[in-house]
Structure 1
Amino acid sequence: MARSALRTIAADTRALGPSAPVRAAYEASKRSGFHAVLFRGKVRRYHPAVPVHLTGLLPHGEAARQRCLDDAGSVLGQGLRAFGQRVRTGGSAPWSTDPLTGRQWPELEPWWRIDIRSDARLSDVKHTWEVARHRDLVVLARAAHLDPTGPWLDGLTGLLRSWCEQSPPERGVNWYSSLELALRAIAWSQILVLAGERLPRELVVTMERLLLASARHLTVELPYTMSSMRNNHMLGDALGLIVLSRMFPTVRRARWWGLAGERMFAAQLRRHVAADGRMIEDSLSYHRFVLEMLIVRVLLGEAPAGVRHDLHAASRHLIRLGVFDGEIPQYGDWDEGRVLASSGDPLDVAGSVALGLVLCGDRVPTRWYADFDELAWYAPEPPEAGDLAPTVRTPAVTASGGIARVKRGPWRVWFKVDAGPSHGHADLTSVWIRHGDRWLVADPGTGTYNGPLEVRNGLRTSAAHPVRRPDGRDQLVPHRAFRWLNSGRGHLGEPLILPGQTVLFGWHDAYARGERPVRVGRAVVVADRYVAVVEFADRSTAVGSWSLTVPLHPDVLLDGDTMTVGESKVGLFGLAGHSTVRGRSTPFAGWYSRTYGRWEPATWITAESRAATTVWGLGTAPGLRGGPDDLDGLRFAVTWSRTGACLAVTHTDSGQVHHVRAPR
């Protein structure tokens, strides 16, 4: 038992890195009762809030207006949203109710005494938190402004009043996370702009006192945030302080809130967004989440030039991945996290990108101002006429942030080579494939964070992604719900565009550790008739066998080597002797999660091989005249060095050679 505990402590320390001592001190403060001293202060002096205009009072277009009223009707009739479902929490059930179990988190207990992490916890707290972000209350406030005689204001008043009565400062699970307080402050600032003058005065005063208490909480938590939450949490907490400083200019410490928030925001942003627009958040959902934080900072006005620059870069990164050309892979953690309020599809990412472009001075089609709620409610007036600007067109072949995308014939292919340190999955060199408008090889999603660990790890480890695993090893090795014990970097070469094929090449070093280190690479060849994956390794003798999982979309039916989706049939080649798993609970495999908290059966193909170089793929199998590295008139060879890898692509008839270099 003692050895097991020591191993757990050692793994925790390894996963947390330099922040381990601060995290240990923070947890000790919670357990010892010192948190009761830190958070015992009360807001003694009342200050009225000054409305901060983030949202418009009226949307652009009748379509957005009707979406809002329809959504508000669903809020009052069916409940608030939590990950695609309407739930009782906040409406016919208290705000502390867990939507999954129907039971309540301790309502008046100091938040630091509530267990949200151990196996004894009530449930996955994120479902309760999602409702308490109050984006649906912004929708009701919009409806109340659009339709003053409707039931919207009474519904909004009831929900806000019940919140204020049930959520006193520092009590209950909804005060646990500083990020949740910051997001709720952003929502309330919009509610007060849209409906504050019509809400009962005593309710507004109570809201203002709770907002002031939120500011105090954020400041007390700053040491922990700045040392241990150097990701989207730091950006969100900083943004909350900036918003609250603008809302309460008469508070003596408001100027300090604003200065501290701006410094935190700038410091984290320098770490967060790279020059090409990628983020340390290795997640499509969290990329949108942070993108919306940048949008709010721009909407507040007087944003530093760097914020607008990063907003533009982050928006263009998603354009290069094809966000305006249909669905893109749901890579990394996905939980529908938002800062902006929308009555549109919560799985859509394009609307936030379109707003990011507009706020940076780009033109988008005028019709988008009505199609996307993000533009309809947050963008300035659209131009009288707007053609499709070059910035929103996606070329057929792009590369951005360690991800390459190819559009050729009926195929849409994404080759994700690199990874980031936060909210990513063990998916270096993963390949995701659409045929027409249908997914074939599809990212299986997230499932849960704080739910069953077998589900969490079952969907985020390498065994759930189309990557090669030497001797069945995982690329990163999971530790608890969010951490990894190891790290890896991927390196992507420039796409090679030939008359008959497009060739992508990349490699990673996630397995370059331990007793049998090996670097692995892939060439992805996209032609009109097929998508082929050629596998390489720098040390063929270092591995006994290779494992591979190919997760299919739930709509895909597999019969032998034929995939059927809709009316289309697509062949599978190069995976002789493969087996399949679908909807298996123990061990957890063969699932697909469309949104957070839910999963459904899907077919996963599994295959084993002893060959270091092999080829597999979808479509009509190409000719392999000289073996797996001689494909359809092209011969492939990789040269490895200490500084990287180089793929030589030789035309077997002419002898012409092309080189694709992927340096470290």
Structure 2
Amino acid sequence: MSSLAWKINRIKAMSPAELLFRVGRVVQGKVEKQRLSAGWRPKPKGSVGSRGGLFQGESEQIVSQWRAAYAGQLAGYEPLLDGDVDIFGHLKVNLLDGFNWHRDPESGIVAPLLYGKGIDYRDNHQVGNCKTLWEVARHPHLVPLAVAYAVTGDERYVRLVTSQIDSWIAQNPFGLGVHWCSTLEVALRLVAWALVHSLFCLRDEQGLFSRVSDSEALGNAIYQHAHFIRHYLSRHSSANNHLIGELTGLWLGCRVFDLGAEGEVWAALAKRELEAEAVKQVFEDGVNKEQANYYHLWVMEYLYLNWLVGERYAEPFSDTFRERIIGMQRFISALRPPGGVVPQIGDSDDGVVARFEPADSPDPYREVCSAIQAVLEDGCEAQYLSQKVFWYSLIAGRSAQIDAGPEADDQPAGQLFPKGGYAVLRGGGAHLIFDAGPLGYPSIAAHGHADALSFCMALDGQWWLVDPGTYCYHTQPDWRDYFRSTAAHNALEVNGHDQSLIGGAFLWLQRSKQQIGELQQSADGEQQSISGSVSGYADPQIRHHREITLDARQRKLRVTDRIEGGAAALRLLFQFHPNVRLYPGELKHHFYAEIEGEPHRLEICADEALQWEVRHGEENPHLGWYSERLGQKVPIDVLVGTLQAASGCTINCEFSW
């Protein structure tokens, strides 16, 4: 899609009020660009200092507790001194020897040192892959280095941290370059600096200020980060998780660092808006409105970290804010099958709010949920006492509460989240998630997929039927479109159309309309049924109805699809996990699936009215792919059924194990 076409589509998604706001932002940028050319830089009225580190308690006691719990991890920090940083699990970057913060580590392209707000970060020829370029400049890798210094006192970690902050400040004058382009990137860097400073404070109350080469330059940079965030907050159709992340950076920056009277005003604004956004962006049942599990995780951790900081500085958030956090934790925990992991639904970008350990968490959902449970609920299980649980609990001034009992599967058989549009069915070793929620939030639904009425299924904790993941954002637009498409999900494609119309990499135009029914359960919970419907498919007359019924006693799942509104060419798809192999049965509409080493065999009796075939990892057009992390994709088996159907046509498929 051309830049002009994207701009036209983007304008279509704006209200008149937003159009006026965007014009104002353009004027604001032009004025700022001229001021920067004349030598202006925002500067604090006084010197920037510390308001005290985040972590509460006696430093010696904290270090002693850490060593008692995590001494076995100490050796893992030593390799970090080599300067290697892992990006999204497939790209290693070395930050030593004059690292260029403007060079995309993936493509080698060096982004120009121009006015940041004027750089088109979507232009791969100008900046390379901005996702990898930005990731390292968020400085999440500096926090584990600061942990290592805090618990060992080894000065080598200090030198590596401060040299990178010094070099970043030297190479990135305020407002210039790709790192002054996105407000969220500025905010996440400020979060990292606040955590690093707080960890350094365990050894020296001046924290970073006594260790960098130029404390005044650091203070100015901190102030400029907060100033930039305050004046470029995401608004209108861009006010999704980005706004909450930006406010998080502003809140932490103005609580951890002393930015004078302006800092107090900005902190009050950040807290007030965070309270409002928690209600705007999270349904009462705990579902994040962006309809993407990983962004649910982002928002959940943002809100929890903000709540902790409020406790630390005796500026508590409301009970409603707290309840939204607990609701989010309970929803995402309900999606996890016993012994398994939370599935991918919607976009996932693999980033983190904060990382304390030397390597990425193998289960970031469990890590954040445990941190919340340890302080706000009945405690987390001892085997999930990660460093995030430890350090976050210290911000609240509490020891993490430990539930000493074994991991319990205390979820009810069936659960409905009616506002968010999800249902969870459980029994007979199966765990199913049915998605009939909105496309996304706000009007552009940037991180939603065309996956209405799709479902995922796990057996004894292992996922068999899956959501495809994300794979890429700003590069390879054809793959970006595929992984968001209806054909990449366990869904029904009608007349070759997605349920909603793609308008850009993070933009939907014509949006589908869907609704979820009531959860039906037998008295003993052995039979559970949920239904939903969706209209869209570039035809307002077409409506797809789906009902899924789990019979736990017979270990069967029935999927019933019905199409209304006219005759249509249908393509029904079922996507299988990369570990699953799909084989034809004795009849043309019978198939079976197996995972090597797993006891289950999944029998599939598909509707014989359709023409069925197994497809696998095709590229022209794309079909049958799965991505567990950004930048990585693998071929998978997908069962595809096609039919030229009359209005009112019903399709029945049955899965048994």
TM-score by structure 1 length? 0.84
- 1:613-662 deviations in whole A, cap 9, x for unaligned? 11113336xxxxxxxxxxxxxxxxxxxxxxxxxxxxxxxxxxxxxxxxxx
- Seen in structure 2, the aligned counterparts of structure 1 residues 117 and 20 have a Cα distance that, compared at 3 Å, is farther
Q: Distance in 2 between matches of 1:519 and 1:558?
A: 27
| 1:548 aligned partner, one-letter code | L
- 1:264-306 deviations in whole A, cap 9, x for unaligned? 2122222111111111121111111111111111111223222
- 1:98-132 deviations in whole A, cap 9, x for unaligned? 122133222x3221232212464432211121112
For 2:605, the equivalent position in structure 1 comes to 573
CA contact (8 A) 1:406 1:526 kept: no
Q: Alpha-carbon deviation of 1:68?
A: 5.2
Instruction: Pick one of 541, 559, 562 that aligns with 2:583.
Output: 559
Instruction: Pick one of 338, 357, 378 that aligns with 1:362.
Output: 378
For 1:507, the equivalent position in structure 2 comes to 532
- Seen in structure 2, the aligned counterparts of structure 1 residues 241 and 601 have a Cα distance that, compared at 3 Å, is same
- The farther-off stretch of 434-443 and 452-461 is 434-443
Q: Distance in 2 between matches of 1:243 and 1:149?
A: 27
CA contact (8 A) 1:364 1:392 kept: no
Q: Distance in 2 between matches of 1:219 and 1:330?
A: 33
Alignment pair present for 1:11 and 2:9: yes
Query: Which stretches in structure 2 are left out of the alignment for 5+ residues?
Result: 585-590
For 1:182, the equivalent position in structure 2 comes to 187
| 1:275 aligned partner, one-letter code | E
Q: Distance in 2 between matches of 1:453 and 1:385?
A: 46
For 2:351, the equivalent position in structure 1 comes to 337
CA contact (8 A) 1:238 1:264 kept: yes
Percent of residue pairs identical: 23
CA contact (8 A) 1:68 1:139 kept: no
- The farther-off stretch of 385-394 and 322-331 is 385-394
Q: Distance in 1 between matches of 2:286 and 2:510?
A: 25
Instruction: Pick one of 411, 418, 421 that aligns with 1:402.
Output: 421
Equivalent residue pairs, number? 610
Q: Alpha-carbon deviation of 1:80?
A: 1.6
Q: Alpha-carbon deviation of 1:551?
A: 1.4
Q: Distance in 1 between matches of 2:408 and 2:124?
A: 48
For 1:166, the equivalent position in structure 2 comes to 171
Q: Distance in 2 between matches of 1:431 and 1:579?
A: 20
- The farther-off stretch of 502-511 and 429-438 is 502-511
- The farther-off stretch of 297-306 and 450-459 is 297-306
Q: Secondary structure at the match of 1:280?
A: coil
Instruction: Pick one of 597, 600, 619 that aligns with 1:585.
Output: 619
Matches within 5 A, 1:94-113: 94-106=100-112, 108-113=113-118
Alignment pair present for 1:524 and 2:549: yes
For 2:47, the equivalent position in structure 1 comes to 47
Q: Secondary structure at the match of 1:330?
A: coil
Q: Distance in 1 between matches of 2:524 and 2:401?
A: 42
Instruction: Pick one of 327, 335, 352 that aligns with 1:313.
Output: 327
For 1:115, the equivalent position in structure 2 comes to 120
Q: Distance in 2 between matches of 1:205 and 1:504?
A: 63
| 2:555 aligned partner, one-letter code | R
- 1:51-104 deviations in whole A, cap 9, x for unaligned? 453357647555863475344334333612321245226445322221221332
Q: Alpha-carbon deviation of 1:556?
A: 1.4
Instruction: Pick one of 224, 227, 249 that aligns with 1:216.
Output: 227
- Seen in structure 2, the aligned counterparts of structure 1 residues 44 and 373 have a Cα distance that, compared at 3 Å, is closer
For 1:83, the equivalent position in structure 2 comes to 88
Q: Distance in 1 between matches of 2:534 and 2:457?
A: 24
Alignment pair present for 1:144 and 2:149: yes
- Seen in structure 2, the aligned counterparts of structure 1 residues 21 and 54 have a Cα distance that, compared at 3 Å, is same
| 1:364 aligned partner, one-letter code | C
CA contact (8 A) 1:562 1:570 kept: yes
Q: Secondary structure at the match of 1:379?
A: helix
Q: Alpha-carbon deviation of 1:481?
A: 0.6
For 1:379, the equivalent position in structure 2 comes to 393
For 1:289, the equivalent position in structure 2 comes to 298
| 1:262 aligned partner, one-letter code | K
- Seen in structure 2, the aligned counterparts of structure 1 residues 562 and 297 have a Cα distance that, compared at 3 Å, is same
Q: Distance in 2 between matches of 1:130 and 1:137?
A: 12
| 1:535 aligned partner, one-letter code | D
| 1:354 aligned partner, one-letter code | S
For 1:154, the equivalent position in structure 2 comes to 159
CA contact (8 A) 2:500 2:538 kept: no
Q: Alpha-carbon deviation of 1:604?
A: 2.1
TM-score by structure 2 length? 0.85
- 1:199-224 deviations in whole A, cap 9, x for unaligned? 535344322211101111122214xx
Query: Which stretches in structure 1 are left out of the alignment for 5+ residues?
Result: 621-664
Q: RMSD of aligned C-alpha atoms?
A: 3.0
CA contact (8 A) 2:183 2:232 kept: yes
Q: Distance in 1 between matches of 2:516 and 2:280?
A: 20
CA contact (8 A) 2:279 2:321 kept: no
Q: Distance in 1 between matches of 2:147 and 2:6?
A: 49
- Seen in structure 2, the aligned counterparts of structure 1 residues 575 and 131 have a Cα distance that, compared at 3 Å, is farther
Q: Secondary structure at the match of 1:129?
A: helix
